[in-house]
Amino acid sequence: MNTQERADELLPLETLLGHTFADRQLLVTALTSPSFRAVPGNESVADNQRLEFLGDAVFGLLSAEHLFTRYPEENEGSMTVRRSLMASGKALASMARGIGLGKYLRMRKQDEAQGGRDNDRFLAEAMEALFGAVWRDGGLAAAQSFFDRLAEFVQQEPPDPWSGNPKGSLQELAQKHAWPDSPSYTLIECQGPDHAPEYTVRASVHEGHSAEGIGKTKREAEVAAASALLRLLHKPPED
């Protein structure tokens, strides 16, 4: 099948995307998994990795603008966590499923036989590559239109942005601000009988900020402490 024939098969997808490509090869490339190149004879075929790199930045920009507008009262840290949730592999794969992207992917037969067309990684990579392809073909306006068209499939951020992975979110925040030796967790006490202990843990970050959490295990207490500290760090300043 030549490139033009392949591109013609993608007309229904272009309708879903709301963008007709001037350069049809960009669309074909965005849908081509690196594994496709492993098939004998396909060594010279371009895969979607470079477009994925570009699309990651494009989606990051559009999702940041979306959150900046939607949450006018939230600060940088809270919006950073929300954006990471929107741009996660799981969320991108959900968007891809929403437009039936899997059936258009190009991959080797082994991957397809193993459920590759519904695999989160393949779908997320192709979705990011599509954002890169639309940007290259139509610029910011086209990419924004594409993002808006997919809004119903964008994974909605939970009311509490720290609910998914508080320890990971606290670690990300500490890295973002280059806080040394942060975060740290200290076991304060363990009370109760051996069969039902209750742990208290203090989570701390640079400049003396800390909060405590209680749990039935050390890890549970650490998660509670991280969540409490995140809320403390992002509490709106009092008038």
> CA of 21: how far to CAs of 15, 51, 116, 143, in Å?
10, 15, 26, 12
Domain boundaries, given as residue ranges, for the chain? 3-153, 166-233
Share of the chain above pLDDT 90, in %: 40
Q: Of the spans 75-84, 110-119, 122-131, 229-238, which averages the highest pLDDT?
A: 122-131
Q: Of the spans 108-117, 139-148, 207-216, which averages the highest pLDDT?
A: 139-148
Q: Which of 86, 8, 87, 101 is nearest to 48 (CA)?
A: 101
Asked if residues 230 and 238 have their Cβ atoms less than 8 Å apart, the reply is no
Q: Which of 190, 170, 197 is nearest to 182 (CA)?
A: 170
| Residue 137 annotated as catalytic | no
* pTM, entire model: 0.67
Q: What is the mean pLDDT of residues 194-205?
A: 90
Q: Is residue 239 very low, low, confident or very high in pLDDT (cuts 50, 70, 90)?
A: very low
Pick the CATH number of 166-233 from 3.30.160.20, 3.20.20.70, 1.20.1050.90, 3.40.30.160: 3.30.160.20
Asked if residues 92 and 124 have their Cβ atoms less than 8 Å apart, the reply is yes
Q: What is the mean pLDDT of residues 15-41?
A: 90
What class is the 3-153 domain? Answer: mainly alpha
| Residue 56 annotated as catalytic | yes
pLDDT at 77 over 90: no
Q: Of the residues 47, 52, 125, 128, which is catalytic? A: 128
Q: Of the residues 47, 52, 56, 222, which is catalytic? A: 56
- CA–CA separation, 20 and 15 (whole Å): 7
* 190 strand-pairing partners: 199
Q: Please, where are the H alpha helices in 39-162?
A: 49-70, 76-86, 89-98, 109-113, 120-149
